[in-house]
């Protein structure tokens, strides 16, 4: 179908249907597609993550799979890899063999393999061992034949034109070499030869030249007749590499498109789902903006991590959003501002320059941070709710050299009630709280410091829709109370719902600043992906 | 009424199982050994018998609560004893100076432990294991692998024998130290920061806790307490032998871990002391039953009681978790849709 000369956008359902009929029917094309997904749905409680997905991937093609957060990409991959069970009715076939769902071993058995973003290699083992633990050891008389193992690893790496030593420890390899090992491992098989390799965001940890190298490897795989499914949200990479692209949006297939039919802007619009040629807007009043005086937070040339020099300021009562896809530097901004990550540049709170490297000083200067990844970075599970809430500032609940139990309980209780934490019992264990309430508790911990600057990093990560609204209301409340709020988020709807100004980041820099009525989720999505919206300058 | 009684029983089972066990020992051994077990002589004997281990264990609460592992406390105790003995024989320093010098050396041991853990990034278990061996070597060198009678004054020898309210001074010392440690750990920011550092170092750091400083300091505290334990031991025993130090490590750690299942559900001073004496009275009762198996019954009892207490605590923890999960909605969240795959937020139905 893709050979069709007419530059029309073929809906994937039709395309897949056509392919099925061809394969099963006349025999005009005896080759079954390498991967055929037919009518696949997945419903989670209260939400349809995938809605009748169909797509076909041919042998020897590199097939892009793109979509925004929540488009269903990850759910689809998790069904293919046997982690999720789909709703009844759908089917998946790999080179004509149908896939048994809900069993990771079954995917491998039909020749469907995965290279996940984290790669899943064991650092303390050698390259050959990493391949062997996955596909099985070559054993003779109960003894592992190490020479054969190394030979097998060498052959697999040779297919990729890779120079990695099979005896090397994975811990000693760089990120690009690790990716090569993971791909080599995905090629190895004890049973059916690998037909399809799915790579999930493989370039996330790679530098530019390493990405070029990876692309060369993927083209070699393609030349060897393997079907490559390339999952990414970096539009340039997809356009560079892929032969065809399937776009997912809100759990549905928008369509499968030949590369030649796509331009950067067309692909971005397909992902975002709106033809944003022009935004009817009124200029926000810039006169009161960035005047320096009265700014509670001033940031000058902030650098560190993935951030390559950004400057902005925020006044009392203002909510400034930081937008950007993962890898844009957005995920490092909060830590850099707070000083928990090494930085250069100037950060001033209420006119006073704030040294980096010490969260204590940031707190003393009037800054509070709600970190991302609540469980890993914000919660102390061995302490109860009261102890968690009061930890950053204990001196206000002390009396004659000791923490006053009654004072502390009352203080914690007050803030738990203000932030609407349920239950509001300060003696409750943190584990007894739901995700949304844990997040409110951490917000209570921040607000108790009555910060001049409140920095929020993915504040609604892993909380349900209802709890999100509550958290937005509290952010607005904090701003009304006089704090300058910086909200870093990968969720553009969240930014649109809460922010007075949004800084869109790409490759470590701020590329666009949105204000007032320009702050629209689809505009943010478009700009994040490097698309352009007429009427919105840089 | 019945409900309240059941709640009480549950609380005892959850937080004070050791006290229940202690009561059980008292009843059983009093019945089995009338007039022998439940006498003030036996009780006083048991109390004073465990003071060295008790001081070690109370000191060890700090590094373990801060998330570290200190297995060098036994060797530090032995080293402190050896150093004091050596000083008493080879120098003519006044006794208080010798004691202070020894304590300073022990603090230095803890300081080095902390430096290796914080600055060199060595795992605390490995760092203190290595330190144990190094200290054993130093102690062997100082003692030339012989039993040595320390040249200490009778005042020093007798200071642990002084009776106040018919309880010896070493027991009082343990009690006073326990009160100080309890106060600092449970009622001051310092203690709160120690627990925060141990509970989640990343979150603690982001809350403004200088985590490495607390980890470092905690190892100095435990080493210093090992030095104080060495003073008590030197006073009570008077003769140095190489086996003294490391032999105290396991009983101290048993009390520590057993104690963590008591009172608060995390490491704490009173739980540690309760566990220490429950084990002590159990062993004493068993020992009085017959003389032909006393020498092997002690470690066996220690090991079984520790396993039992920790297994019980683990079971209660799993039950609590299971109860919590049952209250939640059953299916996993679609990770993409919520941007993180965290737990589903849902109101807990009453009575689940």
Closest in A431, A462, A491 to B342, CB measured: A462
Is residue A180 located within the same domain as residue A234?
no
A371, A402, A466 ranked by CB distance to B206: nearest: A371
Q: Which of B191, B226, B247 is the last residue of a domain?
A: B247
Please provide the distance, in angstroms rounded to a whole number, between the alpha carbons at the two ends of chain B. 23
* Residue A435 with chain B: CB contacts under 8 Å: 342-345
Q: Is A464 in Cβ contact with B338 (below 8 Å)?
A: yes
A421 and A341 both lie in a single domain: yes
Q: B103 and B205 share a domain?
A: yes
How many CB atoms neighbour CB B298 within 10 A?
A: 18
Q: What per-residue confidence (pLDDT) applies to B146?
A: 85
Please indicate, yes or no, whether residues A447 and A357 belong to a single structural domain of this protein: yes
Give the model's pLDDT for residue A466: 67
- Do B99 and B80 sit in the same domain of this protein? yes
CB contacts < 8 A (A, B)? 144
pLDDT at position A26 is: 35
Instruction: Look at residue A10 in the predicted model and tell me its pLDDT.
Output: 39
- B101 and B132 in a single domain? The answer is yes
A215-251 residue pLDDT tens:
988 998 899 889 999 998 788 889 989 999 999 988 8
Please tell me the distance in Å from B332's CA to the nearest CA on chain A: 8
Nearest-by-Cβ selection for B342 from A44, A75, A461: A461
Looking at the structure, tell me whether residues B10 and B29 fall in a common domain. Answer: yes
CA distance B146 to B24: 43
Q: Do B30 and B68 share a structural domain?
A: no
Among B198, B326, B339, the strongest candidate for a mutation testing the A interface, having the largest count of A CBs within 10 A, is B339
Nearest beta carbon to residue B345 from set A378, A394, A434: A434
Task: Note whether A250 and A142 are same-domain residues.
Answer: no
Distance from CA of B180 to the nearest CA of A (A): 12
By CB atoms closer than 10 A (0-12, 13-18, 19+), residue A488 is buried
B201 and B91 within one domain: yes
Name every chain B residue with its beta carbon within 8 A of the beta carbon of A460: 339
Query: What string of pLDDT tens digits covers the 352 residues of chain B?
Result: 566 777 767 666 667 778 888 888 888 888 887 777 778 888 888 898 899 999 999 999 999 999 999 999 999 999 999 999 999 999 889 999 999 999 999 999 999 999 999 999 999 999 999 999 999 999 999 988 888 888 888 888 888 888 888 889 999 999 999 999 999 999 999 999 999 999 999 999 999 999 999 999 999 999 999 999 999 999 998 888 888 888 888 889 888 888 888 877 788 999 999 989 988 888 888 777 766 666 777 778 878 877 877 777 677 666 655 544 444 433 333 333 333 333 333 333 333 2
Percent of chain A with pLDDT over 70: 88
A95 plus A218 within the same structural domain? yes
Mark whether A156 and A78 lie in a shared domain: no
Indicate whether B221 and B242 sit together in one domain. yes
Residues A341, A483 within the same domain:
yes
**Domain that residue A397 falls in:** 295-528
pLDDT of residue A444: 92
Domain boundary among B247, B269, B302: B247
φ and ψ of B45, to 5 deg: -60, -45
Residue B122 lies in a domain: yes
Residue A78's contacts (CB-CB under 8 Å, 6 or more residues apart) are: A84
DSSP B339: T
CA–CA dist B177, B180 (Å, integer): 5
Q: State which residues form the domain around B109.
A: 53-247
Residue A214 pLDDT grade (very low, low, confident, very high; cuts 50, 70, 90): confident
User: pLDDT band at residue A121, thresholds of 50, 70 and 90?
Assistant: confident
Place of tokens 């090397």: A168
pLDDT at B117: 95
| CA-to-CA separations, A395 to A360, A390, B151, in angstroms, rounded | 14, 9, 49
B299, B304, B310, B311 alpha-carbon torsion, rounded to 10°: 160
* Residue A97 dihedral angles phi and psi, to the nearest 5°: -95, 130
Q: Which helix (H) or strand (E) holds A501?
A: strand A501-506
Contact B337 A464 (CB under 8 A): no
Please tell me the distance in Å from A392's CA to the nearest CA on chain B. 5
CATH at residue A106 = 3.40.50.300
Bridge partners of A512, per DSSP, are: A504
Residue B146 lies in a domain: yes
Residue B112 parent element (H or E): helix B95-118
* Nearest chain B residue to A335, by CA: B206
Q: Using pLDDT thresholds of 50, 70 and 90, give the confidence band for residue A284.
A: very low
Tokens representing residue A241 in the block: 């590499």
Mutation site for A-interface testing, chosen from B190, B261, B342, B350 by largest number of A Cβ within 10 Å: B342
Model pTM above 0.80: no
pLDDT at B71: 93
* B45 vs A311: CA distance, rounded Å: 71
Show which residues on chain B lie within 8 Å of chain A, measured between beta carbons: 183, 187-189, 192, 195-196, 198-200, 202-210, 266, 320-321, 324, 328-348
Residues B213 and B180 in one domain: yes
**Encoded tokens for A300:** 């000058």
C-beta atoms surrounding A42 within 10 Å = 22
Q: What is the largest CA-CA distance in chain A?
A: 90
Token readout for B27 is: 């009843």
CB contact under 8 A, A431 and B320: yes
B193, B225, B247 - which closes a domain:
B247
A36: β partners: A56, A93
Residues 6 or more apart whose Cβ sits within 8 Å of residue B273: B54, B57, B58, B174, B178, B255, B259
Whole-angstrom Cα distance, residue A242 to residue A75? 21
Judge residue B186's burial from the number of C-beta atoms within 10 Å of its C-beta, 0-12 exposed, 13-18 middle, 19 or more buried.
middle
With CB atoms and an 8 Å threshold, state whether A49 touches B206: no
Closest CA to B66 of B14, B114, B135: B114
Residues in B closer than 8 angstroms to A395, CB to CB, are: 189
A464 lies within 8 A of chain B by CB: yes
Give the closest of B188, B199, B336 to A74, CB-based: B336
Q: What integer pLDDT is reported at residue A155 of this predicted model?
A: 86
pLDDT, chain A, mean: 83
Checking if the pLDDT of A19 tops 70, the result is no
pLDDT digits (tens, 9 = 90+) for A311-337: 999 999 899 999 988 778 888 999 999
Residue at A3 is within a domain: no
- Number of Cβ within 10 Å of residue B1's Cβ equals 5
Nearest CA in chain A to B204: A380
The count of structural domains within chain B is 2
Residues B221 and B276 in one domain: no
Q: What is the pLDDT of residue A536?
A: 64
> Given CB atoms, is A493 within the 8 Å cutoff of chain B?
no
The pLDDT assigned to A401 comes to: 87
Angle at B231 between CA B226 and CA B233, to 5 degrees: 90
Question: Are A359 and B333 an interchain contact pair (Cβ–Cβ within 8 Å)?
Answer: no
Assess whether A105 and A125 both reside in one domain: no
Q: Which of A73-87, A142-156, A264-278, A385-399 has the highest mean pLDDT?
A: A385-399
Class of residue B56 by CB neighbours under 10 A (exposed 0-12, middle 13-18, buried 19+): buried
Residue of B nearest to A387 (CA): B192
- Does B340 reside within a domain? no
* 8-state DSSP, A296: E
Residue A149 has pLDDT above 70, yes or no: yes
Q: Is the pLDDT of residue A25 over 60?
A: no
Contacts of A462 in chain B (CB under 8 A): 333, 338-343
Nearest to B254 by CA among B71, B66, B120, B82: B71
> What residues does A501 pair with on adjacent strands?
A320, A515
B238 in the same domain as B297: no
Flag if B336 and A491 touch (Cβ within 8 Å). no
Estimate to the nearest angstrom the gap between the alpha carbon of B261 and the chain centroid.
12
CA-wise closest residue to B64 among B209, B198, B179, B213 = B198
Question: Residues A456, A510: one domain?
Answer: yes
- Whether A462 and B341 lie within 8 Å, measured CB to CB: yes
Quick one: pLDDT band at residue A406, thresholds 50, 70, 90? Answer: very high
How far apart (Å, rounded) are the C-alpha atoms in residues B69 and B77?
16
**Cβ pair A377:B192 closer than 8 A:** no
Q: How many domains does chain A have?
A: 3
Residue B28 confidence (pLDDT): 83
Residue B211 lies in a domain: yes
pLDDT at A8 over 80: no
The answer on B185 and B93 residing in a single domain is yes
- CB atoms B266 and A436 under 8 Å: no
- The answer to whether residue A536 is domain-embedded is no
In a domain, A534, yes or no: no
Q: Do B200 and A381 touch (CB under 8 A)?
A: yes
B336 belongs to a structural domain: no
Say whether A231 sits in a helix, a strand or coil.
strand
Q: Which of B204, B328, B333 comes nearest A44 by C-beta?
A: B333
Q: Verify that B32 and B95 share a domain, yes or no.
A: no
Nearest-Cα distance to chain A for B326, in Å, is 12
A286 Cβ contact list (under 8 Å, min separation 6)? A515
Give the pLDDT of residue B340.
35
**Region class of B66: left (phi > 0), else alpha (psi between -120 and 50), else beta:** alpha
A420 inside 8 A of chain B by CB: no
Q: Where are the alpha helices (DSSP H) in B188-293?
A: 189-199, 201-206, 211-237, 244-247, 249-260, 269-289
Of A223, A243, A273, the position where a domain reaches its end is A273
Residue A87 DSSP code: P
Lowest pLDDT segment from A379-383, A509-513, B244-248:
B244-248
Residues A77 and A126 in one domain: no
**What's the pLDDT tens digit per position in A425-455?**
898 888 888 778 888 999 999 999 999 999 9
**A381 inside 8 A of chain B by CB:** yes
**Residue in B187, B334, B342 nearest the CB of A435:** B342
Q: Is residue A94 domain-shared with residue A243, that is, in the same domain?
A: yes
**Chain B residues near residue A444 by CB distance under 8 angstroms:** none
Q: Where residue A28 falls among pLDDT bands split at 50, 70, 90? A: very low
B185 assigned to some structural domain: yes
Cα A477 from chain centre: 28
Whether residue B345 is contained in a domain is answered as: no
**What is residue A452's DSSP assignment?**
S
Q: In terms of domains, do A354 and A429 share one?
A: yes
Alpha-carbon gap, residue A157 to A150, rounded angstroms = 10
């Amino acid at each position: 179908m893709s050979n069709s000369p007419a530059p029309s956008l073929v809906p994937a359902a039709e395309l897949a249907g056509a392919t099925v009929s061809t394969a099963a029917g006349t025999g005009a094309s005896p080759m079954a597609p390498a991967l055929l997904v037919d009518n696949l749905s997945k419903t989670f409680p209260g939400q349809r993550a995938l809605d009748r997905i169909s797509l076909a991937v041919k042998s020897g093609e590199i097939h892009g799979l793109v979509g925004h957060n929540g488009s269903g990409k990850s759910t689809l991959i998790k069904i293919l890899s046997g982690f999720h069970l789909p709703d009844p009715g759908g089917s998946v076939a790999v080179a004509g063999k149908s896939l048994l769902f809900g069993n990771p071993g079954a995917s491998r058995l039909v020749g469907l393999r995965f290279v996940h973003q984290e790669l899943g290699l064991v650092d303390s083992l050698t390259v050959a061992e990493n391949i062997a633990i996955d596909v099985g050891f070559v054993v003779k008389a109960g003894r592992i034949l190490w020479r054969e193992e190394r030979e097998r690893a060498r052959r697999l790496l040779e297919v990729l034109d890779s120079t990695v030593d099979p005896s090397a420890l994975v811990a000693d390899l760089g990120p690009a070499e690790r990716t090569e090992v993971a791909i080599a491992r995905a090629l190895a098989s004890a049973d059916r030869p690998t037909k399809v390799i799915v790579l999930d965001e493989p370039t996330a940890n790679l530098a530019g030249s390493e990405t070029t190298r990876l692309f060369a490897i993927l083209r070699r795989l393609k030349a060897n007749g393997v079907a490559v499914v390339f999952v990414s949200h970096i539009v340039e990479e997809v356009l560079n590499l892929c032969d065809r692209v399937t776009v997912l949006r809100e759990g549905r297939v928008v369509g499968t498109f030949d590369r030649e039919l796509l331009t950067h802007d067309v692909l971005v619009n397909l992902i975002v789902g709106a033809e944003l040629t022009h935004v009817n807007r009124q200029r926000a009043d810039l006169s009161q903006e960035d005047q320096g005086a009265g700014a509670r937070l001033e940031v000058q040339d902030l650098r560190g991590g993935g951030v390559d020099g950004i400057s902005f300021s925020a006044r009392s009562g203002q909510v400034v959003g930081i937008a950007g896809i993962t890898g844009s530097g957005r995920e490092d901004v909060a830590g850099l501002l707070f000083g928990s990550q090494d930085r250069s540049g100037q950060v001033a709170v209420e006119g006073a320059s704030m040294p980096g490297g010490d969260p204590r000083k940031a707190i003393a200067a009037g800054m509070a941070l709600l970190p991302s990844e609540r469980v890993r970075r914000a919660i102390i599970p061995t302490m109860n709710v009261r102890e968690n809430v009061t930890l950053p500032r204990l001196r206000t609940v002390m009396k004659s050299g000791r923490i006053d139990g009654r004072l502390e309980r009352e203080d914690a209780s007050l803030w738990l009630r203000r932030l609407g934490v349920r239950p509001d019992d300060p003696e409750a264990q943190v584990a007894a709280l739901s995700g949304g309430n844990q997040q409110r508790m951490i917000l209570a911990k921040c607000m108790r410091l009555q910060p001049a600057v409140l920095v929020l990093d993915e504040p609604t990560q892993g909380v349900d829709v209802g709890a999100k609204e509550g958290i937005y209301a509290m952010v607005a409340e904090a701003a009304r109370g006089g704090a300058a709020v910086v909200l870093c988020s990968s969720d553009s709807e969240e930014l649109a719902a809460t922010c007075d100004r949004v800084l869109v980041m790409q490759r470590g820099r701020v590329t666009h600043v949105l204000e007032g009525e320009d702050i629209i989720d689809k505009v943010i999505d478009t700009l994040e992906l490097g698309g352009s919206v007429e009427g919105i300058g840089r | 009424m019945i409900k309240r009684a059941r709640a009480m029983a549950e609380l005892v089972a959850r937080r004070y199982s050791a006290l229940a066990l202690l009561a059980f020992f008292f009843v059983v051994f009093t019945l089995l050994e009338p007039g022998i077990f439940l006498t003030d002589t036996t009780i006083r004997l048991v109390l004073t018998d465990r003071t060295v281990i008790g001081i070690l264990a109370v000191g060890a609460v700090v590094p373990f609560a801060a998330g570290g592992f200190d297995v060098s406390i036994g060797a530090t105790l032995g080293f402190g004893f050896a150093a004091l003995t050596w000083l008493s024989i080879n120098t003519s320093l006044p006794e208080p100076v010798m004691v202070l010098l020894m304590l300073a050396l022990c603090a230095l041991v803890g300081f080095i432990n902390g430096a290796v853990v914080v600055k060199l990034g060595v795992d605390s278990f490995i760092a203190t294991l290595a330190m144990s061996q190094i200290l054993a070597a130093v102690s062997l060198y100082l003692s030339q692998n012989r039993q040595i009678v320390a040249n200490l004054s009778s005042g020093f020898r007798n200071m642990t024998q002084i009776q106040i309210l018919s309880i010896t001074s070493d027991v009082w010392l343990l009690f006073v130290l326990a009160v100080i440690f309890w106060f600092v750990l449970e009622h001051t920011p310092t203690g709160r920061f120690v627990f925060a550092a141990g509970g989640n170092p990343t979150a603690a750091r982001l809350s403004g806790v200088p985590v490495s400083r607390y980890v470092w300091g905690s190892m100095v505290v435990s080493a210093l307490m090992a030095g104080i334990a060495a003073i008590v031991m030197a006073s009570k025993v008077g003769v140095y032998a190489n086996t003294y130090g490391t032999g105290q490590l396991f009983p101290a750690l048993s009390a520590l871990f057993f104690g963590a299942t008591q009172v608060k559900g995390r490491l704490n001073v009173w739980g540690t002391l309760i566990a220490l004496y429950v084990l002590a009275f159990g062993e004493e009762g068993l020992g009085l039953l017959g003389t032909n198996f006393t020498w092997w019954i002690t470690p066996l009892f220690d090991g079984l009681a520790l396993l039992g207490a920790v297994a019980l605590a683990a079971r209660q923890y799993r039950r609590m978790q299971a109860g919590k999960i049952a209250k939640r909605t059953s299916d996993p969240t679609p990770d993409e849709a919520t941007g993180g795959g965290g737990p589903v937020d849902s109101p807990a139905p009453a009575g689940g």
